A and B are shown apart, each in its own frame.
Chain A
Amino acid sequence: DAGVIQSPRHEVTEMGQEVTLRCKPISGHDYLFWYRQTMMRGLELLIYFNNNVPIDDSGMPEDRFSAKMPNASFSTLKIQPSEPRDSAVYFCASSYGQGGGTEAFFGQGTRLTVV
């Protein structure tokens, strides 16, 4: 397997524009996570899915953020409208199995810059 694949790797957009980040998890994994990483706040969990169903979105900062997982091999994180404070590296990760004891495999991240 090629691992978790994210696209794009870099995104520069203007404030107010819609941004869509994409993720393909590792085949067979039943958990998918979206994280945001900044210097100030570190790595924050935004939302996670189990078997394509959103389980906990309490980390999503505002209604401007939304995430979907239409099938087991694809997920999107959308920001509309984007703001400069959304600039960060967004990671997608996947894992297999219930409970908290399985390691997560991270994609290479999308570096988002909102100007």
Chain B
Amino acid sequence: GQNIDQPTEMTATEGAIVQINCTYQTSGFNGLFWYQQHAGEAPTFLSYNVLDGLEEKGRFSSFLSRSKGYSYLLLKELQMKDSASYLCQASGAGSYQLTFGKGTKLSVIP
């Protein structure tokens, strides 16, 4: 089975940096996704990590440590539009066992 934990809520100030953590326990881990979901909308893909290390994509970066079962999403230069839920999803190797965390609701304040 799979278990994914992430904080329920976070608040950060516009222009700041925020790190959203995700820990996972899974059998047959393949890689880890991050999705963004604005209220009332569908999740949209942000990043995918399969190897250890940091993947940078503009203002957003994602980090993975396979040995520690740990990932984080780093958002820089926060904007009001970054207020959303951020979902961590572990992918199981060899099958499509895809488990989402419950999401972290990020509120960006002026």
Contacts and interface: CB of A to CB of B under 8 A. Distances in A.
A45 interface: yes
Contact of A101 (B50, B94, B101): B50
A31 B91 CA distance: 14
B48 A42 contact: no
Interface stretch (B15-23, B38-46, B60-68): B38-46
Give the interface size bracket for B toward A. Answer: 20 to 34
B100 interface: yes
A113 to B, nearest CB: 15
B102 A101 contact: no
Interface in B87-110: 87, 91-103
A56 interface: yes
Interface string A82-102: 000000000100000001110
Contact of A45 (B99, B102, B103): B99
Interface string A31-56: 10101000001111100101000011
A106 B95 contact: no
Interface size classification for chain A: 20 to 34
Contacts of A103: 33, 45, 48
A55 B92 CA distance: 14
A107 B93 CA distance: 25
Contacts of B94: 99
Nearest to A101: B31
Contacts of B43: 43, 91, 106
B45 A100 contact: no
A103 B97 CA distance: 14
Nearest to B90: A100
A109 interface: yes
Max chain A C-beta neighbours (<10 A), residue from B33, B91, B96, B97 = B96
A33 B95 CA distance: 13
A108 interface: yes
- 4 A-B pairs with the lowest CB-CB distances in the bound complex, closest first: A100-B91, A42-B102, A106-B42, A103-B45
